[in-house]
Amino acid sequence: MTEGQRTYPVPELEQEGLVLRPWRDDDAAAVREMAQEPVSRQWSASLRTVVTDEDALAWIRRRRGGGRVDWAVCDVTTGDVVGRAGLHGIGDDGRNAEIGYAVVAGRRRAGVASRAVAAASAYAFGPLALTRLSLIHAIGNPASCAVATRCGFAYEGTERAALDHGDGVLHDAHRHARLATDLGGRVAPPPQAPPAIEPVEIAAGRVQLRPPSPADAEDALLMLGDPGVARWNPGPGTLDLDEARAWCARGADWSSGTHATFAVLDATSGRLLGNVSLHRIDRAQRDAEIGYRVAPWARGQNVASGAVAAASRWAFGALDLVRIELAHAIENPASCRVAEKAGFLLEGTLRQAFVYGDGQRYDEHLHARLVTD
């Protein structure tokens, strides 16, 4: 802590399905996992230094320093860390600060950032009695522009070459700010959490789609451990039967409203053939992404294309979606064929878009299907 910097209390805050609480040393593994995710590393400079659990622990302890208030953002039901939020650079006069945040990959586009920023802002303008909060983000990060706008932060201008994210580039930045007097002293209400999705079963010819079950765990373990699956579909870091059961349980829980994951079964024998998941579901924008896995004993049987098509038809109807995207590494041509058979048109190439299970970053093809296709 810099000499003279004041330390501030870090209270526990609740905000619509989230709890913001002080960081604990046993959060180190969650911080390390968040730091390994490409988008978090891209836009959160402090996370670039986190590689090991020891790095993560040092990162947590720095969050307890003076001139700042930092929270772990957790799911109120499971207690899982789903992001971070904090006030930093609190001035000596205790009137101004900057607000920052990050969200883990699986919980983006679900209002987590906006709700966390709203809770932190309410604390800043209430108990801390700050008069001004700044929110600054790289222009290349438009999602942060949307968060700022939703939470009542007015756009104030562009700062050229203002942000160093540790990637060797000085990024142009947008500056947003909120004053305690904006909106009559109120923080703009965050968007409502998405409604839970009711699990369903879908009959699709020779395959049956239903939420994953603990009974799928043994075949799921074999599927997740297959080298072809693991390369193009990163899965759990630990592969054992207990983790396979936990993986199935996560897929079966659609209560967040952000995903609908199906086990794909042989309609006659009931054996697991693969899975298909609609994720990053955005009910306001009416879009989603879709991905899939096929077990090695089911390849070459049109399992993937049939399951993707069936899940997409259901989503267009039951979830009122307009657009579903499917992205795959260009070096995985089998996924190109799956996309085309399932009615997803090729729209373009995303350069160096995603780090796959082999640790390599690949160009991707972006396909999409519209409800009108």
Which residues share a beta bridge with 264?
A: 209, 274
Q: Do residues 30 and 136 lie in contact, with contact meaning Cβ atoms separated by under 8 Å?
A: no
Token digits of residue 115: 């709700």
**What distance lies between CA 145 and its chain's CA centroid?**
17
What's the CATH code, domain 202-370? Answer: 3.40.630.30
pLDDT at residue 46 greater than cutoff 50:
yes
Distances in Å between the Cα of 267 and the Cα atoms of 207, 208, 249 are 5, 5, 21
The string of DSSP codes covering 16-33 is TTEEEE---GGGHHHHHH
Which residues share a beta bridge with 134?
A: 98, 177
pLDDT at residue 174 greater than cutoff 80:
yes
Please tell me the distance from the alpha carbon of residue 232 to that of residue 87, in angstroms, as a whole number.
38
Average pLDDT on 116-125 reads: 93
Distance between first and last Cα of the chain = 58
Average pLDDT on 12-24 reads: 92
Q: Do residues 72 and 80 lie in contact, with contact meaning Cβ atoms separated by under 8 Å?
A: no
Distances in Å between the Cα of 115 and the Cα atoms of 89, 175, 218, 244, 357 are 21, 20, 38, 31, 31
Residue 232 DSSP SS3: helix
pLDDT at residue 236 greater than cutoff 90:
no
For 56-70, 187-201, 215-229, 264-278, which range has the lowest pLDDT when averaged over its residues? 187-201
**What is the total residue count of the chain?**
373
pLDDT at residue 96 greater than cutoff 70:
yes
237 pLDDT tier (thresholds 50, 70, 90) = low
pLDDT at residue 285 greater than cutoff 60:
yes
**Domain covering 13-185, topology:** Aminopeptidase (3.40.630)
For 71-75, 190-194, 304-308, which range has the lowest pLDDT when averaged over its residues? 190-194
More confident residue, 134 or 194: 134
Crossing angle of helices 142-150 and 112-125, in 10° steps, is 50
Complete edge-to-edge strand list for the sheet that includes strand 260-266: 202-204, 207-210, 260-266, 272-282, 287-294, 323-329, 361-370, 345-355
Report which residue type is found at 354.
F
CB atoms within 10 A of CB 327: 19
Quick: pLDDT tens for 322-336: 999 999 999 999 999
- E strand intervals along the chain: 13-15, 18-21, 69-75, 81-88, 96-103, 132-138, 154-164, 170-179, 202-204, 207-210, 260-266, 272-282, 287-294, 323-329, 345-355, 361-370
Which residues share a beta bridge with 354?
A: 362
What are the phi and psi torsion angles at 127 (to 5°)?
Answer: -55, -35
How does the average pLDDT of the chain come out, rounded?
A: 88
Domain spans of the chain, in order of start: 13-185, 202-370
pLDDT at residue 187 greater than cutoff 60:
no
The string of DSSP codes covering 305-319 is HHHHHHHHHHHHHHS
Domains 13-185 and 202-370 share a fold: yes
Token digits of residue 187: 């923080």
By the 10 Å C-beta count (0-12 exposed, 13-18 middle, 19+ buried), 3 is classed as exposed
pLDDT at residue 320 greater than cutoff 50:
yes
Please tell me the distance from the alpha carbon of residue 348 to that of residue 164, in angstroms, as a whole number.
30
Contacts of 133 by beta carbon, 8 Å cutoff, 6+ apart? 87, 96, 97, 98, 99, 121, 124, 125, 153, 177, 178
Average pLDDT on 13-17 reads: 89
pLDDT at residue 190 greater than cutoff 60:
no
Give the pLDDT of residue 49. Answer: 85
pLDDT at residue 70 greater than cutoff 50:
yes
Please tell me the distance from the alpha carbon of residue 263 to that of residue 277, in angstroms, as a whole number.
9
Nearest CA to 247 among 281, 279, 218? 218
